Structure 1
Amino acid sequence: MVQLHQKHIPVHIRCQVCAIADESIYHALVGCYFAVQCWKTWDPGIQINEEMEFNVWLEGSLNVKTKKQRAEIVTLCWAIWLARNEVVWNKKAMMVNRVDAGAKEYLTQWNEAQVKSFKVSLQPWADGDGVVSWVKPQQNS
């Protein structure tokens, strides 16, 4: 909301989840009491400092973590954003345990999809099978 306001879009910049602070990206994904509760469930040692810019926090968080932990951080940011959107657009409050469980389930499914191999069910095209190919247009046409 802060970024929209800076672009002269008439919005209320107060966080609609907590109604305590202005909604910057950092606040929405990390610093809001709801986000803090989500982060503390996943990583009790996570560093949270309301004065920080989100990109600085994210870079610092990703630099000291394993590949698995980096995926968890990004996935939880996404899940918190979805929960925030449910509050803003649909007036639906989300529970911390549901956001965390949803993020973990999504990450599990994503990881499983990365290791599965899929066989192509279609045979390669042959000349004359009706496949249309792109042809470069002639100049001055």
Structure 2
Amino acid sequence: MDANVSNNKSFWTRLWHLKILLKVKHFMWRVICDCLPIKDCLLSRRVEVDSKCPVCNLIDETSLHALVFCLVAALCWKLQGVRFDSAAINNTTDWVQEIYQHSGRSEVNKIFMIAWMIWNNRNDVEWKQKGRGYKDIVTSAIHILNNWEFAQDRSFDFFIGFISQTEGNMCWKQPQTGTIKINTDAALFKIKQAS
């Protein structure tokens, strides 16, 4: 990790204040600190592994290759319309700094979410021998981000589905002495019968 970044409070503050899933923030912290279990890191720790990228199987795997320059990753970024200056990027810290410089907050959230899904896809290829297409990776990342943002929305009106203002305001009442009270919740669905 770049020494300038490790002491740069605003760099880390920006990461930890993003409105995104905590596991994605943690993932990006690991990316920046270069502590993902990527093959070049494993080899440097004397773990015997094949050095080739499990997704493209063409180039030795580094964090930067896996998340930015691998064929599937590059197609994800192209589909999303994100461009990176490969001449200015030497490591993942440079990559994140370029994202910060050229992207607004919501765009940074999307980029980090897609990077996390690219990583998940890489792990599926490595450990399950099955991966997703680049369109599915981007669609899934944006879908998960949108669902998470919707769940975080404090302005959502939970009573919007009720017919009247008081319909959703039922409260529990203590049963009368000598009686048994059973509280239930149920839903009915019409089932189409096959003809």
Query: What TM-score results when the alignment is normalised by the length of structure 1?
Result: 0.77
Paired residues in the alignment total 118
Residue equivalent to 1:47: 84
Unaligned runs of 5+ in 1: 120-141
Query: Structure 2: how far apart are the matches of 1:86 and 1:4?
Result: 18
Specify whether residues 85 and 63 from structure 1 end up closer, same or farther in structure 2 by C-alpha distance, changes over 3 A only.
Answer: same
Structure 2: 5+ residue runs without aligned partners? 1-38, 159-195
Equivalence for 2:189: none
**In 2 relative to 1, CA 36–106 (structure 1 residues): closer, same or farther, beyond 3 Å?**
same
* Cα-Cα RMSD: 1.9
Letter in 2 for 1:66: G
Runs of 4 or more above 3 Å deviation: 116-119
Q: CA deviation at 1:117?
A: 6.5
Task: Assess if the C-alpha contact under 8 Å between 2:52 and 2:60 holds in 1.
Answer: yes
For residues 107-118 of structure 1, the aligned pairs below 5 Å read 107-116=145-154
**Conservation of the 8 A alpha-carbon contact between 1:38 and 1:100:** yes
Residue 103 of structure 1 aligns with which residue?
Answer: 141
Q: Percent identity?
A: 28
TM-score by length of 2: 0.57
Greater CA deviation, 56-65 or 11-20? Answer: 56-65
Q: Which residue of 2 aligns with 1:126?
A: none
